[in-house]
Structure 1
Amino acid sequence: MFIETETTPNPSSLKFLPGKTVMGSGTREFSTPEAAEASPLAQAIFDLGDVTNVFFGGDFITVTAAPGVSWTDLKPQVVAILLDHFVSEAPLFMPGSAGGISVPAEDESMLVEERDEDSDIIAQINELLETRVRPAVAGDGGDIQYRGYRDGIVHLQMQGACSGCPSSTATLKHGIEGLLKHYVPEVVEVRAA
């Protein structure tokens, strides 16, 4: 088995491609060692000690290194953990834990209360996010989660390599906001949740 790596726009993150499906559907982000306890793979990566985020996408894993950590030293350790996991066909999640979920329970407070009369606008926003934005963001080792729409403002959360990326604000403001404003005139602003 061979695991490819790709750089991401976030210099602290690397995208690892095992050549196999990681998540059958959805994505999952682990931003603390405690959250990683739900996945033996994420926990093993966090146990290296130099990791601040692990993100599972459809066919990739993005790992974010702690500030000041060299990928020269960390990359071979992460590759070894990934090889062990995929060769042994170990489960991705602990039995009984939630697998791929789009809005983890601990993040529900980040959702924006929506109005029924905005349902058509929300449907248009979600369609654009699914078809145009998410594939591009996944290519950079991350994901974007819709968190709500109210009074012309779309709330989105960046995940994976995108969550700490220096260019994430530009992506939200110049890329995604421009796209949404163009196709959905009711959108006046995009904010990070």
Structure 2
Amino acid sequence: MFIETETTPNPASLKFLPGRTVMPSGTREFASPEAAAASPLAQALFDTGEVVNVFYGWNFITVTAAPGADWGALKPQVVAILLDHFVSEAPLFQGGSADGIAVPAEDEPVVEEDEADAETVAAINELLETRVRPAVAGDGGDIAYRGFKDGVVYLTLQGACSGCPSSTATLKQGIESLLKHYVPEVVEVRAA
């Protein structure tokens, strides 16, 4: 087995591609060692003491190093942990199967939406799914829809995109411009 790595726009994050499906559907982010307890693989990565975020995408895992960590020393450790996990065919989640379907993503809305906005919300989600998420996944992350209220779309950047120096530009100049262009009801995009 060979694990490829790719850089991301976030200098603290690397994208690891094991050459197989990681999450057959959805994504999952672990932003703390406590959250990582749900996944033996994420827990092993946090146990290095140098990892502050682990993100599972469809065919990749993005790992974010702690401030001051040396990727030269950390990268071989991460690759070894990933190789051990995938070669042993261990389950991705505690008490679940290797596909992780039994463990839902944390996609709770942050605002109470108005039912009258259902068509607008559907248009926003369609654009996020077809245009935004593929681009963000290419950078080792994901974007989660958190709600729409009074013209404001609430989104959460995940993986390499959370904490990325260019995340504000991604939200405001990229995603906000796209959504405003195609969905006139959108007046602003905010991080949630």
Same fold (TM over 0.5): yes
Equivalent position of 2:128 in the other structure? 129
Whole-angstrom distance in 2 between the partners of 1:98 and 1:33: 21
After superposition, what is the alpha-carbon deviation per residue over 1:12-68, rounded to whole angstroms, capped at 9, x for unaligned?
Answer: 000000001000100000000000000000000000000000000000000000001
| Cα separation, 1, equivalents of 2:103 and 2:171 | 24
Deviation of 1:98 (Å): 7.1
1:80 paired residue number: 80
- Between the aligned partners of 2:106 and 2:177, the Cα distance in structure 1 is 25
Give me the identity figure in percent: 76
Aligned partner (choices 100, 103, 106) of residue 106 of structure 2: 103
Structural RMSD (CA)? 1.3
- How far did 1:112 drift? 1.0
Residue type of the alignment partner of 1:30: F
Query: What amino acid sits opposite 1:26 in the alignment?
Result: G
Q: Which residue is 1:158 aligned to?
A: 157
**How far is the alpha carbon of 1:164 from its aligned partner?**
0.8
> Is the 8 Å Cα contact of residues 25 and 101 (structure 2) preserved in structure 1?
no
Q: Which residue of 1 aligns with 2:146?
A: 147
- Bigger mean CA deviation after superposition, 94-103 or 7-16: 94-103
Is the CA contact 1:28–1:99 (under 8 Å) kept in the aligned structure 2?
no
Which residue number corresponds to residue 58 of structure 1?
Answer: 58
Aligned length: 189
Report the AA paired with residue 92 of structure 2.
Answer: L
Asked if structure 1 preserves the Cα contact closer than 8 Å seen for 2:51 and 2:65, the reply is yes
- Contact kept, 8 Å, 1:145 with 1:157, in 2: the verdict is yes
SS at match of 2:45: helix
Unaligned runs of 5+ in 2: none
Q: Output the CA distance in 2 between the equivalents of 1:192 and 1:114.
A: 16
CA–CA distance in structure 1, aligned partners of residues 167 and 179 of structure 2:
16
TM-score computed with the length of structure 1 as normaliser: 0.95
Is residue 42 of structure 1 aligned with residue 45 of structure 2?
A: no
TM-score (norm: length of structure 2): 0.96
- Which one-letter code corresponds to 1:161 in the other structure? A
Alpha-carbon distance in structure 1 between the residues aligned to 2:117 and 2:105: 21
**In structure 2, what is the equivalent of residue 31 of structure 1?**
31
1:102/1:145 contact within 8 Å kept: no
Structure-2 change in CA distance of 1:7 and 1:148 (3 Å): same
Q: Which runs of 5+ in 1 are unaligned?
A: none
